[in-house]
A and B are shown apart, each in its own frame.
Chain A
Amino acid sequence: IQLTQSPSSLSASVGDRVTITCRASQVISSYLAWYQQKPGKAPQLLIYAASTLQSGVPSRFSGSGSGTDFTLTISSLQPEDFATYYCQQVNSYPLTFGGGTKVEIK
Chain B
Amino acid sequence: QITLKESGPTLVKPTQTLTLTCTFSGFSLSTSGVGVGWIRQPPGKALEWLALIYWDDDKRYSPSLKSRVSITKDTSKKQVVLTMTDMDPVDTATYYCARRPGGFVGDGFDNWGQGTLVTVSS
Which residues of A are in contact with B by a Cβ distance under 8 Å?
A: 29-33, 35, 37, 41-45, 48-50, 52, 54, 86, 88, 90-91, 93-100
**B interface SS class:** loop
* Complex contact A43–B47 (CB within 8 A): yes
From known contacts A93-B60, A98-B46, infer whether A42 and B105 are also in contact, taking CB-CB under 8 Å: no
Q: Is B62 part of the contact surface with A, judged by Cβ < 8 Å?
A: yes
Interface residues on B, range: 20 to 34
Of the residues B47, B96, B98, B113, contact of A86 by C-beta under 8 Å: B47
* Complex contact B106–A90 (CB within 8 A): yes
Chain A-chain B contacts (Cβ-Cβ < 8 Å), number: 72
**A interface SS class:** loop
Q: Is B63 part of the contact surface with A, judged by Cβ < 8 Å?
A: yes
Question: Nearest A residue to B113 by beta-carbon distance?
Answer: A42
From known contacts A42-B114, A43-B112, A100-B46, infer whether A48 and B52 are also in contact, taking CB-CB under 8 Å: no
User: How far apart are the CA atoms of A35 and B82 in the complex, in Å?
Assistant: 23
User: How far apart are the CA atoms of A52 and B103 in the complex, in Å?
Assistant: 14
> Shortest 9 CB-CB distances between A and B: which pairs?
A33-B108, A49-B106, A42-B112, A31-B106, A95-B49, A97-B47, A94-B62, A48-B108, A45-B110
From known contacts A97-B46, A99-B46, infer whether A49 and B114 are also in contact, taking CB-CB under 8 Å: no
Question: Nearest B residue to A49 by beta-carbon distance?
Answer: B106
User: How far apart are the CA atoms of A93 and B54 in the complex, in Å?
Assistant: 14
Residues of chain A within 8 A of B64, CB atoms compared: 94
User: How far apart are the CA atoms of A100 and B62 in the complex, in Å?
Assistant: 19
Residues of chain A within 8 A of B109, CB atoms compared: 33, 35, 43, 45, 88
Q: Is B56 part of the contact surface with A, judged by Cβ < 8 Å?
A: no
Question: Nearest A residue to B63 by beta-carbon distance?
Answer: A94
User: How far apart are the CA atoms of A6 and B53 in the complex, in Å?
Assistant: 31
Q: List 9 A-B contacts (CB under 8 A).
A: A35-B47, A45-B110, A48-B104, A49-B104, A52-B106, A88-B109, A90-B107, A95-B52, A97-B47
User: How far apart are the CA atoms of A98 and B37 in the complex, in Å?
Assistant: 17
Tell me the B39-82 residues at the A interface (CB within 8 Å): 46-49, 52, 60-64
